[in-house]
Amino acid sequence: MNSNFSKLPAEWQTMTRTAAQAERFAYADPGYSATLCRKSLEEWIRFMYQHDGDLETPYDTSLNALMHAKSFQDLVAPSYFPQLNIIRKLGNDAVHTNREIRAAEALHAVKLLYGFIYWAADLYGEFPAGAKPPFDETLIPRGDEAEKTKTELAKMEAAYTASREELKRVKEELAQGTALKNKNLVRVGKPSDPDEALTRKMYIDSLLSEAGWDVTAANVLEYPVKGMPTADGKNNGTGRVDYALWGADGKPLAVVEAKRAGKDPRAGQEQARLYADRLEAAFQQRPFIFYTNGFQTWFWDDGQYPPRLVHGFYTREELQMLANRRAQRLPLRDQPIPKAADRYYQQEAIRATTEAFEQGRRGALLTMATGSGKTRTAAALIEVMSKAGWVKRVLFLADRTALIDQAKRNLNDYLPNMPAIDLTKEKSDASARISFSTYQTMMHQIDGEFSGDRRYYGVGYFDLIIFDEIHRSVYNRYRHIFNYFDGLRVGLTATPRSEGDRDTYALFELEPGNPTYSYELEQAVADDFLVPHLAKVVPLKFQREGIKYAELSEAEKLDYESRFEDPLTGELPEEIGSEALNQWLFNADTVDKALGYLMEQGIKVEEGDKLGKTIIFARNHRHAVFIEERFNIQYPAYKGDFLKVIDSQAEFRQHLIRQFVTKEKAPQIAVSVDMLDTGIDAPAVVNLVFFKQVRSLVKYWQMIGRGTRLCKDLFGYGKDKKYFYIFDLCGNFEFFGDHPKGAPESTAKSLSQHLFETRLRLAQILGEDEEEAVLAYSRSLKQTLIVQTQALNVKNFIVRQHLRHVEKYSEAGRWESLSDLDVKELFGHIAPLIVETDEGEAAKGFDALCYELQFYLYRGDKRQAKPIEKIKEMADRLSKKGSIPAVQKKMDVLKAVQKPAYWSGATVLGIKQLRADLRELAQFIETAHRAFEYTNFTDEIRIIQDPPTVYVSKNLEAYKRRAQQYLRSQEHHVTIRRLKMNQPVSSGEMEELE
């Protein structure tokens, strides 16, 4: 059958099949024709991205994102973009709404598609420019032929393959047979619009329809007004409002002034204002003002703000709400700041933001160091603006699902009465006051969510949009989200204000380097709200060449980041020496040495016996897996639980993140690939390892922020986190010109090392005794040390450095008669290698206490008094918890050791028995004591059954959270303070508190 599209050269005919079908059904089934037009448009645009080297594929590959990409708009010219958008939007309406597509609309879309296809074929093909014949409407089936065509529709739809599958085949055919001008393309002029006036009208009507307006309703089109100014200076003229939009009460909500497509719509600003004046005089309500040429639309709330570009129209409900707010909203400055923002700088940030909004600004940028409470500040700001009647619906955007999950949980705690929804997991809900979404999800929601004929998320749906961790790379990828929504904007960023990019500031209409409010890391550390980072110089070398970021000019920095930034991660690759770096990163010896140095020099917990929570930033997934493999080879005693890869390819990654951020749970080391770089709240992290080159300044500061949070009692009760280490393996400090204070070399002995040395001293001195029972005890102590030495992993990098001594003392015979030199070698080369992973911290501490006491007792050393007092104190605390079955079983021993008579006859073997009697309770009393320090919920502790250690340890963090939540509650603060001070509390008060 003849078609306008059959006139293209033969090599393009495969690509025109969908367009020809769209043409065939323009009259027979306009809705189906519109759908096919959109499908054909997508096929051609994807073809262009595949074959045109100047087109950079964005992260999101939906049709909307492909069309909005800057490289595509530069190619087709911005003035032509609305024509393509008509095709896309009409196709969306046909699929997603119940709106009836008229034959005239479908035909117009076919004509626009015809112009675009010939333009693209001219651009990439070999036939002469300007060879496009005029569109011939007589080739489109009408009348009986149309009915015949319509009867074939069901068969064609059944045989119709999915667009992606068909496009794949098309690409394969074209790749084999079509010679494209991939290099030095001659850009041809944009295709003409066959009916510019119709395009404009369709565009305006479509946007109004998406916002729920019926342009065919009474008094909408060409609404007459009187009292317009005339040439003679009088006000007795008449006029017609192009579109008048009315409220349910019959009062005007908005006027829309339409200008021809080629004219700047701002030319209609004064005319639209005059129309608004006349309607206000007639109905005593000031309407809002829109003026548009169909492709650019301006919105003017002339009582509040200057005119601004918008990407659509407000719904009736949204305009009514804006109208109501004119009279009902309260001054923000008079609103009290909620207690969620309990720090001075959080309150200052809120006041600075509300002041900016009251001054008529529509954007605010808060530069706040990671860990300083940006989410808490945002929650308090939402509450202030909500109570003042400024906002109803809030959108919280972030670029990671994990950040959305965390932000929702936190805001739910601060704003429990505001219904919230996570759009990455739940369907849209009109009752939600706060919507959480990733940028990717929201892009699809904007273009794919409809409620009947209306677009669900219109430009005015949200009153306030909060952008978490906003920076240039996010804006570059998702700029049309920023441009689409018209609500007030608040950006949150941890990037220092001196380092922020111009694009980010411009998004909030601010001068570079002048955020709305700034609270940076240096000040937060000085205020003791965050902890500083100390540099660990790693004694590893690799060949690296390249440029230094700090040495680039501002313009060069912008160019460098925009040119080499990865669209998915925001990372910037090294320009020179990448192969050498690759080889170094994936070298087993390199990774083994790096892990060994970390395990040796990293900040430890549990009396220096276990590496503190650590994040290793790996280059990619393959590198992360390689690190995990090498660790498990080097440290098999941890049984694969100590270090885990947490990235986008990890199964149950959210569960792994929750495990990692919990202080008492494994893993202890997380190897991250762009998963833990931003926003994850893990206060217990004390070591960061930069095992990759970072070339994004924003990412660099976000990564540093993983360690800045405070953590109380991390090293024991009353021993808080004061700083954290950064092991920079890839020259990032140097690249960014950062010079943090150096961290000291680790000299403290671990608890395992102390235990090994104490056992050895005790075994040596007891080996001189004449009593067989004492000698047997000495031999058993030595046997423990021999087994520990033999269990050392000789493949481990650190152990290999002491391999000669490990092999020497792995022979049991060498222990039969140890010389002073042997003991010195064991202390210097074996003891530091020992890590006891199967015992709890408190149990090992009790062992060391008993061994020290035995040593002092045997020697008659007066230093025995200190460990005796510690044991008596522990027994006293335990004996007060007699309601716990495990404690009750040992009550006789606990009471005995508190009496002087017990210690007057104490012996080495007696203390050995005491250790056996109380060792099991040592772990419990230490853990339970910490729980009591936070909560003192004695009624709960009394019902704990055996084994008590697991129960209390498992719930320690829960006790802390509950205590902190209760302390924030004003309703029960008296009861809580009584609990904290161990004062009596009635059962009724406890029930009310629960």
677-689: pLDDT as tens digits: 766 788 999 999 9
Mean pLDDT, range 568-588, rounded to an integer: 56
Mean pLDDT, range 815-819, rounded to an integer: 88
Res 984: pLDDT: 56
Most confident of 329-343, 392-406, 503-517, 675-689: 329-343
Give bridge partners of residue 687 from the DSSP assignment.
614, 725
Residue 179 has pLDDT above 60, yes or no: no
Least confident of 506-515, 594-603, 756-765: 506-515
Res 617: pLDDT: 92
Residue 608 DSSP code: T
* Confidence grade of residue 745 (pLDDT, cut at 50, 70, 90): low
62 contacts 135 by C-beta, under 8 angstroms = no
Res 963: pLDDT: 45
For residue range 13-70, list pLDDT tens digits in order. Answer: 888 999 999 999 999 899 999 999 999 999 999 999 888 877 888 767 788 878 877 7
Mean pLDDT, range 2-17, rounded to an integer: 85
Can you give the C-alpha Rg of the chain in angstroms?
Answer: 36
Residue 826 DSSP code: I
| Spatial separation of the C-alpha atoms in residues 902 and 177, rounded to whole Å | 98
| Spatial separation of the C-alpha atoms in residues 842 and 863, rounded to whole Å | 21
- 735 CB-near residues (< 8 Å, 6+ apart): 546, 548, 549, 550, 693, 694, 695
Res 153: pLDDT: 47
Res 580: pLDDT: 58
CA distances in angstroms from 243 to 237, 270, 289, 457, listed in the order given: 19, 16, 11, 22
Structure tokens at 647: 């990235």
Residue 225 DSSP code: E
763 contacts 782 by C-beta, under 8 angstroms = yes
Structure tokens at 409: 């949980």
> Which residue, chain included where needed, has tokens 């991250």?
672
Residue 981 has pLDDT above 80, yes or no: no
For residue range 774-805, list pLDDT tens digits in order. Answer: 999 989 999 999 998 998 888 787 888 888 89
Mean pLDDT, range 384-398, rounded to an integer: 94
The Cβ of residue 526 has, within 10 Å, a number of other Cβ atoms equal to 10
34 contacts 90 by C-beta, under 8 angstroms = yes
The pTM score is 0.66
Q: Which of 686, 677, 696, 740 is nearest to 521 (CA)?
A: 740
Res 35: pLDDT: 93
Q: E strands within 355-430?
A: 363-368, 394-398, 420-422
* Confidence grade of residue 234 (pLDDT, cut at 50, 70, 90): confident
Strand ordering across the sheet containing 221-228: 221-228, 237-246, 252-258, 288-292, 297-300, 308-310
228 contacts 237 by C-beta, under 8 angstroms = yes
Res 247: pLDDT: 94
For residue range 958-980, list pLDDT tens digits in order. Answer: 544 544 454 444 445 555 555 55
For residue range 535-559, list pLDDT tens digits in order. Answer: 887 766 543 444 455 555 565 555 5
Question: Residues for the chain: how many in total?
Answer: 994
Identify which has the larger pLDDT, 669 or 564. 669
Q: Which of 480, 471, 481 is nearest to 503 (CA)?
A: 471
Res 148: pLDDT: 47
Mean pLDDT, range 580-599, rounded to an integer: 79
DSSP for 779-809 reads HHHHHHHHHHHHTS-TTSHHHHTTHHHHHHH
Residue 175 has pLDDT above 60, yes or no: no
Give bridge partners of residue 365 from the DSSP assignment.
491
Residue 193 DSSP code: P
* Confidence grade of residue 141 (pLDDT, cut at 50, 70, 90): confident
Res 339: pLDDT: 86
Map residue 259 onto helix, strand or coil: coil
Structure tokens at 90: 């009409």
Number of H helices, E strands in the chain: 41, 23
Mean pLDDT, range 573-583, rounded to an integer: 51
For residue range 280-317, list pLDDT tens digits in order. Answer: 999 999 999 999 988 889 999 998 999 999 989 999 99
Structure tokens at 34: 């519109």
Give bridge partners of residue 646 from the DSSP assignment.
672
* Confidence grade of residue 83 (pLDDT, cut at 50, 70, 90): confident
For residue range 456-508, list pLDDT tens digits in order. Answer: 888 999 999 999 877 666 666 777 788 889 999 999 888 776 655 566 777 78
Q: E strands within 88-152?
A: none
* Enclosing H/E stretch for 622: helix 621-634
Query: What percent of the chain is predicted at pLDDT more than 90?
Result: 27
Give bridge partners of residue 258 from the DSSP assignment.
292
| Spatial separation of the C-alpha atoms in residues 86 and 291, rounded to whole Å | 19
Residue 635 has pLDDT above 80, yes or no: yes
Res 466: pLDDT: 94
Mean pLDDT, range 429-435, rounded to an integer: 90
The Cβ of residue 314 has, within 10 Å, a number of other Cβ atoms equal to 25
Residue 809 has pLDDT above 70, yes or no: yes
For residue range 666-712, list pLDDT tens digits in order. Answer: 899 999 987 787 667 889 999 999 988 887 777 888 888 889 999 98
| Spatial separation of the C-alpha atoms in residues 740 and 725, rounded to whole Å | 10
Averaged pLDDT of the chain: 80
For residue range 152-170, list pLDDT tens digits in order. Answer: 544 444 444 444 454 455 4
| Spatial separation of the C-alpha atoms in residues 47 and 178, rounded to whole Å | 12
375 contacts 410 by C-beta, under 8 angstroms = yes
The Cβ of residue 902 has, within 10 Å, a number of other Cβ atoms equal to 18
Sign of the alpha-carbon dihedral angle for 822, 824, 828, 830: positive
Res 34: pLDDT: 92
* Enclosing H/E stretch for 880: none
Q: CA 461, 506, 69 angle in degrees (round to 5)?
A: 70
Map residue 981 onto helix, strand or coil: coil
Structure tokens at 484: 């689409």
| Spatial separation of the C-alpha atoms in residues 686 and 708, rounded to whole Å | 9
Res 737: pLDDT: 78
Strand ordering across the sheet containing 669-673: 533-536, 724-728, 685-690, 613-617, 669-673, 643-647
Identify which has the larger pLDDT, 434 or 884. 434
* Enclosing H/E stretch for 605: strand 604-605
Res 451: pLDDT: 63
The Cβ of residue 86 has, within 10 Å, a number of other Cβ atoms equal to 27
Q: E strands within 663-707?
A: 669-673, 685-690
* Enclosing H/E stretch for 73: helix 70-76
* Confidence grade of residue 354 (pLDDT, cut at 50, 70, 90): very high
Mean pLDDT, range 130-155, rounded to an integer: 65
292 contacts 259 by C-beta, under 8 angstroms = yes
Torsion angles phi and psi, residue 348, rounded to 5: -65, -40
